[in-house]
Structure 1
């Protein structure tokens, strides 16, 4: 599942954390929430940056998508 598919399924506080910390290591509680809507974490998922088991990072593609979504949401409030 792509980020654009699971993004609207996340609760607003999780989306806000991802916007505020875009590109940072994703903590287990946030990753659990993503997996609850996107399905199990697999290295093949386009939003996964690799298979480092100690720290989870979103892919560059997902980071860019979240930045665009954040900018679009911000402009909708203006």
Structure 2
């Protein structure tokens, strides 16, 4: 599923973790759970390069 569809529903603390840990391998279980709760992917790889690029751009315009 495309990140644009579930990102708006992602918990703020998970968004912050992802923004602060760009492209880090191995997401913490809590962040993985929040992604799943928002409707995001649950199978590895949870985030692909286009997803990280989206998060990086979003970090420049933090909510």
TM range (shorter): 0.7 to 0.9
Equivalent position of 1:59 in the other structure: 48
Higher RCO (CA-CA < 8 Å; seq separation 6+):
2
Number of matched residues? Answer: 62
Matches within 5 A, 1:1-78: 1-24=1-24, 25-39=26-40, 41-42=42-43, 49=45, 58-73=47-62
Q: TM-score, normalised by structure 1?
A: 0.67
What's the C-alpha RMSD, in Å, of the aligned pairs?
Answer: 2.0
Residue 62 to residue 9, structure 1, CA distance change in 2 (3 Å) = same
Point out where structure 2 has 5 or more consecutive residues left out of the alignment.
Answer: none
Structure ID, larger Rg: 1
Q: TM-score, normalised by structure 2?
A: 0.80
